[in-house]
Amino acid sequence: FTTQLHLLTTRAMKQGRGERLTTASLYLALTYIFFETILWFRLPDDTLHVYERNSLLFFFLISLTSSIIISSVPVLKKEHGLFLRERNKGLYGTLPYFLAKTISDTTTSVIFPLIHVSVVYFTTNLRLTPLAFLTFLLVFYISITTAQALGMLLSVALPTLQIALLITPTINIFLMIMGGFYIPLDNFPGFIKWIKWCSYATYGYSGLLVNEYQGRSIPCAQHDDSSSDSVEYAWDCPRDGNDVLASLGLHES
């Protein structure tokens, strides 16, 4: 197994040399960082900016995982015939081939996105504790590798590359809708509520939210009124982070 994995990984990386680390992918990552920093720069950590904070976390998922899924679809489709011939000859098994393809795509599908979100994490003032940052990276890593695996699954499950490229974005959009940002998890109709547990976005977005809010209080958003001594607050404050999670359908078990 280890020999097969090593040889297949080496071959896949040689075949993709020049395609994994491209100028275009670097520019794309820098563009995302630029616009995300401008739109969500140094978000105030208060009750008035909870929605903006949630929207940033969901945008991480919807932007990066969508591109990873689409880019993963052609990976296995282009080599489907070669894979079947070599497997039938007993040269290697399915698992080492899948792992080799996953590892060879690490630069574009994993390393770049993780560097991207690591930079934006601090420029946008997300939860600034070492444990929260490491947990954020772990949840995001699991989310993007799951998205990558989903793209490969759809690549082999659908009959042609054209059909796969047509249907995959539709499936991904539906999974994103089930993630809990557009509609709170408790508000889905009963007959489709179970589908949310089939969506990687549900687990990814929920994990990012729990990491951001659980176990802490969100300070009051204060607006000084120069014409009076009154102070205006958004929501009840300081607001318990668990209350924010409960309002989004994430209840403590």
For the stretch 185-215, pLDDT in tens is: 888 888 888 888 899 999 999 999 999 999 9
Length of the chain: 253
Phi, psi angle pair for 240, to nearest 5°: -70, 135
Q: pLDDT tens, 100-110?
A: 888 877 767 78
Tally of CB atoms within 10 A around 154: 21
pLDDT for 157 equals: 87
Q: Are 174 and 202 in contact (CB under 8 A)?
A: no
pLDDT at 231 over 80: no
Gyration radius (Cα) of the chain, Å: 21
pLDDT for 102 equals: 80
Q: Are 200 and 141 in contact (CB under 8 A)?
A: no
Q: pLDDT tens, 181-192?
A: 998 888 888 888
Residue 9 neighbours by CB under 8 Å, 6+ apart: 99, 100, 103, 104
pLDDT for 82 equals: 84
Average pLDDT over residues 158-176: 90
> For residues 50 and 46, what is the distance between their CA atoms, to the nearest angstrom?
7
> For residues 62 and 174, what is the distance between their CA atoms, to the nearest angstrom?
11
> For residues 70 and 194, what is the distance between their CA atoms, to the nearest angstrom?
25
The more confidently predicted of residues 72 and 121 is 121
pLDDT for 17 equals: 59
pLDDT for 203 equals: 95
Q: pLDDT tens, 10-51?
A: 888 777 655 555 677 788 889 999 999 999 999 999 888 999
Average pLDDT over residues 146-171: 88
- How many CA within 13 A on the CB side of residue 215? 7
The token pair at 213 is 């809010």
pLDDT for 21 equals: 53
Q: Label each residue of 191-210 as H, E or C.
A: CCHHHHHHCHHHHHHHHHHH
Please tell me which of 59-68, 91-100, 198-207, 226-235 the model is most confident about, judged by mean pLDDT: 198-207
Strands 223-224 and 217-218, by their bridges, are: unpaired
The pTM score is 0.85
pLDDT for 190 equals: 84
Percentage of residues of the chain with pLDDT beyond 90 = 36
pLDDT for 149 equals: 87
pLDDT for 39 equals: 94
> For residues 189 and 233, what is the distance between their CA atoms, to the nearest angstrom?
33
The token pair at 216 is 């802490």
